[in-house]
Chain A
Amino acid sequence: MTKAHYRTTTLAATLLAALAGQAGAQDVIWWYEQATPDQQQLIADLIEAPYAEANPDETLVIDYRGNELDKQLRVAMLSGSGPDVVYTPGPSYVAPMAQSGQLLPLDDYAEQYGWNDRILPVFLEMGRYDGTLYALPKTYETLGLYYNASLFEENGWEVPGSIAELETLADEMLAKDIVPFAAGNSDWRGANEWFVSLALNAVAGPEKVYQALTGEIPWTDPAFVESIDALARWWEAGYFGDDYFSLDSGEQVAAMLAQGEAGMMPSGTWAFQNIDIYFGESGAEPGFTGFPSAEGEPVFPLGVGSTFSIAQSSDNPDGAAKVIDFIFSPGFYGPMNSAWQGEWNIPLSDLSGVEMDPDAMPIFVEAMATLATSVDEGNYGYTSWTFLPPATNSLLINGIEEVWLDRTTSEEFLAELDAQFQQEMAEDKVPAIPAR
């Protein structure tokens, strides 16, 4: 063999080995959404490093795909070239993927790893399609009412215990030139649905929402008209402030609340991260409570931010299952939720083995514990992004603006919503609704 031949052969062999290594059967590919450099570091430290240590023969490759992950995923899944760990934006994506045979049934893995005992049953139900388990939720969340406790104390205000009290308090805030609800949607129009979900669950009640989701009653029911009317009344009264369409739904509104420009902030548990940052800067004390209902008891609309599945086309389904199993462990829950609050609230049924950092925000720990108890007792509401089919949800997000801006009435909005829902229900696009 000449020198040149030797060099060429070595180069070819190296390239082949590298290619084989890149697409090796022992790799587990997981496409993740947008994450800041700090968040990516947390994922590297708390997922990749411990996984590599426990599985030296396998490599977990986490690929950050940005905000457009869902679109990329749909195309990749269609062509059978997607990742091993399928990370969908929510249960409404799971049904069509399962229906098309793109996802692997997880029942055997659930049996093998004991997920049926470890995960809250309601979430297992949500991941089923035609009785087969296809997805596990990465995080569950709820909507509630953040408030500036220091501002409340200064003004002698009490946390509202009913809708009537909420409205009285909001009027008092307006009289003092304080915006009652820190809210905005300039970055994410989907923020509209947080308020619609709150109104539907707080005014009409979770039972009515459940009946509508299961097709027992239409969305034009008077209870829902009353809910949307209440939301329109709050808008009209100025509870959402003058700059709703100009403010972003995350940092700007959290800053407003922390600085006392707004008194309350109806938002989700994902906002705890911003609360920590901005209240830390302002030195004010934050508070969090369930959104009051018409009856008085707070409601916790339940939401699932994203789900885990395994691709049918995966070369390494066992590795993917191992990754999912690692995430569904108390040993992961504690450190991750201590460092990154609101995004990794894995639905473990028993949190007694979880060790949280003593410095973690007490109101976050308390809120998550209350939510877990409420869900376990079946006392929860429904968020639109988790339980409504896609086109109905999109209509809800955009249509409510028409109600707010007097371009349509609550009745017309709900009639349109109901027509869309009935169509999608007939097409079998409504996600699994766990029995109450």
Chain B
Amino acid sequence: MHRLYVLPTLIINVVIIAIPALLTITLAFFQWDGISSPRFVGGENFADLWHDRVFWTALTNNVIWTAIFLTVPVGMGLLAATMMLVARRGSTFFQVVYFLPVIIATAITARIWQGMIYSPVTGINGLLDRYGLEMTNPLTQTATSLYGIAVVDLWHWWGFLCVIFFAALRQVPAEQVEAARVEGATFWQTMRYVLLPGIKPTITLMLIMTVIWSFLVFDFVYILTQGGPAYSSEVLSTLAYRSAFYDLAVGKAAAVSVVISLFGLCATVFYIRAQAKEFEE
């Protein structure tokens, strides 16, 4: 009888997660314009992706994006969290300041950066340009467009990691930190041998979630460049969106989504195994 308690959750999971996920996987093997009847094409959509240079550009951009977000915001977050731990005074204020960009809607953040910072007409870039400092809108160059978007997302994201790491650092037993200090450990030695191992599970979880989120990135890219110029900032999710809603190639979009999910799945498996190992320890 007690098993019935899981029924509501099970129904929600099946209806909201399992059915759409299975439909997406099924659609990846069909050719469909989203209007008329789907036609089964086997693995053709995946074969087409293999020969599609835009797909490879998008995949590479996702990998670059993941590498950036696995290092820069994690490093910034850890540094700022540790500094707040050392200098407790004002830490609440800084936590609020760092966390503020996270609670602003991404569309608004993107529009502010696009119009008020990067724009050569209405932004700070344009102002500096008028004062003789030569500035270029990074979103308009093929070499920098992806990094221009990443800067906006980093500004929006790193504070979240900082607050999470700070919360975790505060959970490290004070006795261990005190013992290290008594033993004469330097600040970096305390970090290396006491604090970082103490928050390792949090760091692992954040890194794994970063991999999953990096392959799902869409909003900032779509608002700021729509994947351009010349596909230079295309990522898998914008490719899937364009395929489904502009090219009316829903099957191809589903195939791209399956590829995105595979990366997320790998990260999830890694996380579950890491967790299982932790429990064993």
Contacts and interface: CB of A to CB of B under 8 A. Distances in A.
Contacts of A242: 120
B247 A245 contact: no
Contact of A246 (B36, B118, B242): B118
Contact of B121 (A74, A243, A394): A243
A245 B139 contact: yes
A228 to B, nearest CB: 14
A77 B34 CA distance: 10
B242 A394 contact: yes
A398 B226 CA distance: 10
A55 to B, nearest CB: 31
* The 5 nearest A-B residue pairs measured at CB: A245-B140, A391-B247, A401-B230, A96-B35, A402-B230
A70 B37 CA distance: 18
B131 interface: no
A394 B37 CA distance: 22
Given A245-B137, A245-B139, A99 B36 contact: yes
Contacts of A395: 247
A100 B35 CA distance: 7
23 contacts: A71-B245, A74-B35, A77-B35, A78-B34, A78-B35, A93-B35, A96-B248, A97-B35, A99-B35, A186-B139, A189-B226, A243-B140, A246-B121, A246-B137, A247-B121, A391-B247, A393-B246, A394-B242, A394-B246, A402-B230, A402-B231, A407-B142, A407-B230
Contacts of B142: 405, 407
A242 B245 CA distance: 30
Interface of B: 33-37, 114, 118-121, 137, 139-140, 142, 226-231, 242, 245-249
A47 to B, nearest CB: 27
Contacts of A390: 33, 246-248
A252 interface: yes
A71 B242 CA distance: 12
Overall SS of chain B's interface: loop
B140 A74 contact: no
Given A243-B120, A246-B119, A391-B248, A189 B230 contact: no
Given A245-B137, A398-B228, 4 more contacts: A99-B35, A243-B137, A245-B139, A394-B246
Among A395, A405, A407, the most chain B Cβ lie within 10 Å of the Cβ of A405
A429 B246 contact: no
B221 to A, nearest CB: 12
Residue picked from A70, A74, A78, A97, most chain B C-beta under 10 Å: A74
Contacts of B230: 398, 401-402, 404-405, 407
Q: Is the interface of A mostly helix, strand, loop or mixed?
A: helix
Contacts of A71: 245
Contacts, number: 74
Size class of the A contact interface (CB-based, 8 Å): 20 to 34
A104 to B, nearest CB: 16
Interface in A77-103: 77-78, 93, 96-97, 99-100, 102
A186 B36 CA distance: 33
A74 B137 contact: no
A186 B35 contact: no
A93 B246 CA distance: 11
Nearest to B39: A427
Given A186-B114, A391-B247, A96 B120 contact: no
Contacts of B140: 243-246
B36 A96 contact: yes
A419 to B, nearest CB: 11
Contacts of B120: 242-243, 246
B92 to A, nearest CB: 39
A107 B227 CA distance: 42
A401 B228 contact: yes
Interface in A376-415: 390-391, 393-395, 398, 401-402, 404-405, 407
A78 B245 CA distance: 15
Nearest to A252: B121
Contacts of B121: 243, 246-247, 252
B19 to A, nearest CB: 15
Contacts of A244: 140
Contacts of B118: 246
Interface in A92-130: 93, 96-97, 99-100, 102
A398 B238 CA distance: 13
